[in-house]
């Protein structure tokens, strides 16, 4: 068995045993694939981690940057109370359309808003609307803009907000000196976290069905 096959088998073992997958999530993945969206959503066990972290945080307001087919969105929405709210930002209208259908089927059309546009255009609008700060923010859109997304996340946060950034390893690309703007975007973001006094941050590597990648977690403390 190759290393990747072992990682996939282990993910399948956890997911089957713990029941981190279900019909609604399967249908969301199936329709995303059938609509030609790239297969880059979080894995079922990673999605459940997002849900658990939002529940631990007691999140009532969640922001997501990078919706794709709404797969991680559904996991996060499951953590919300009935009067909770999740805003998710997506550049591609087709992705947003698929996501809205998946989110509606999951029963969250009332709590989740998909906003279409480049996040660097929709984030200032969101900020100008002046709603309450977000309790949890999941950053998962274009990697080159992560430094800007971290800045906006801090602006839309409060003390106690948990910021999670996906794909901070990118199969090792992030430490490759020859890697392009995506890796550079992640490295700049990690350097910002390192010198940012308003957060307490860490990062973890993950292996699994999605290969070698990782999450950064930053708790806003000041
Ligand atoms: N969070 C999703 C995966 C997101 S994939 C999940 O785990 O299920 C990244 C998404 O970010 C893609 O749908 C892509 O279209 C979107 N994206 C890329 N550039 C963007 C931008 N500038 N603004 C908003 N979304 C963007
Ligand atoms: C890519 C993007 C993601 O958000 C992800 O989780 C995995 C891969 C990518 O663009 O390659
Ligand atoms: Mg991702």
Each residue's pLDDT tens digit, 103-150: 999 999 999 999 999 999 999 999 999 999 999 999 999 999 999 999
Q: What is the chain's Cα-based Rg?
A: 17
Distance 5 CA to ligand 1 centre (A): 27
CB 40 near ligand 2, within 6 Å: yes
Mean pLDDT for the stretch of residues 82-99: 98
Task: Kindly report the average pLDDT of the chain as a whole number.
Answer: 98
CB 64 near ligand 2, within 6 Å: no
pTM (global) more than 0.85: yes
CB 67 near ligand 2, within 6 Å: no
**pLDDT value, residue 186:** 98
Domain that holds residue 122: 3-220
**CATH code of the domain containing 51:** 3.40.50.150
Distance 93 CA to ligand 1 centre (A): 11
Of ligand 2's listed atoms, the one at least distance from the Cα of 140 is 4
Smallest CA separation from ligand 2 atom 6, residue: 40
pLDDT digits (tens, 9 = 90+) for 144-194: 999 999 999 999 999 999 999 999 999 999 999 898 999 999 999 999 999
Give the 3-state secondary structure of the chain. Answer: CCHHHHHHHHHHHHHHHHCCCCHHHHHHHHHHHHCCCCCCCCCHHHHHHHHHHHHHHCCCEEEEECCCCCHHHHHHHCCCCCCCEEEEEECCHHHHHHHHHHHHHCCCCCCEEEEECCHHHHHHHHHHHCCCCCCEEEECCCHHHHHHHHHHHHHCCCCCCEEEEECCCHHHHHHCCCCCHHHHHHHHHHHHHHHCCCEEEEEEEEEECCEEEEEEEEEECC
What residues line ligand 1, using a CB cutoff of 6 Å?
40-42, 66-68, 71-72, 89-92, 95, 118-119, 140-142, 145
Please give the tally of structural domains in the chain: 1
Ligand nearest to the CA of 208: 2
Distance 119 CA to ligand 2 centre (A): 16
Residue 136 near residue 54, CB atoms below 8 Å: yes
**pLDDT value, residue 108:** 98
Structure tokens given for 151: 């800045």
Distance 105 CA to ligand 3 centre (A): 22
Give φ, ψ of 79 to 5 degrees.
-85, -10
């Amino acid at each position: 068995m190759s290393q990747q096959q072992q990682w996939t088998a282990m993910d399948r073992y956890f997911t089957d045993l713990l029941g981190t997958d279900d019909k609604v999530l399967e249908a969301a993945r199936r329709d995303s694939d059938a609509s030609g969206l790239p297969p880059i959503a979080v894995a079922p066990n990673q999605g459940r981690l997002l849900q658990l972290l939002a529940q631990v945080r007691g999140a009532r307001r969640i922001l997501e940057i990078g919706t794709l087919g709404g797969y991680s969105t559904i996991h996060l929405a499951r953590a919300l109370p009935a009067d909770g709210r999740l805003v998710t930002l997506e550049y591609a209208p087709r992705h947003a359309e698929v996501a809205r259908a998946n989110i509606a089927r999951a029963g969250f059309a009332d709590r989740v808003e998909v906003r279409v546009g480049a996040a660097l255009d929709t984030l200032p609008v969101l900020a100008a609307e002046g709603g309450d700060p977000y309790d949890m923010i999941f950053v998962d859109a274009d990697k080159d803009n992560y430094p800007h997304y971290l800045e906006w996340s801090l602006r839309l946060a409060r003390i106690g907000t948990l910021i999670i950034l996906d794909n901070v390893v990118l199969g090792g690309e992030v430490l490759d000196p020859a890697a392009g703007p995506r890796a550079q975007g992640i490295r700049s973001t990690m350097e910002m976290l390192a010198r940012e006094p308003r957060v307490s941050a860490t990062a973890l590597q993950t292996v699994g069905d999605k290969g070698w990648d990782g999450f950064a977690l930053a708790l806003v403390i000041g």
